[in-house]
């Protein structure tokens, strides 16, 4: 398997690595077409970081509007 910097990179059922993919499309391939994340831990870490950033932004927005 190749080294990739995209945490959402997937391996398809026919062993092709797709590393130029976003989370939505990667999750769709994993859920519906039998693909797998190249690094499950990296994908989950990136998702958690994105969610944390969204929570921080909502807090900032709420304080600004208050």
pTM: 0.67
Place of tokens 């391939």: 29
* 14-66 tens-digit pLDDT: 999 999 999 899 999 999 999 999 999 999 998 898 888 888 777 666 677 76
DSSP letter at 37?
A: E
Q: Token pair of 50, please?
A: 């994105």
CA–CA distance, 56 with 33 (Å, rounded to integer)? 34
């Amino acid at each position: 398997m190749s080294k990739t910097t995209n945490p959402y990179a997937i391996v398809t059922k026919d062993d092709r690595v797709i590393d130029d993919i976003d989370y939505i499309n990667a999750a769709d391939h994993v859920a519906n077409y039998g693909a797998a994340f190249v690094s499950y831990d990296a994908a989950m870490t990136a998702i958690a970081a994105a969610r944390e950033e969204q929570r921080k932004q909502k807090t900032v927005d709420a304080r600004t509007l208050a």
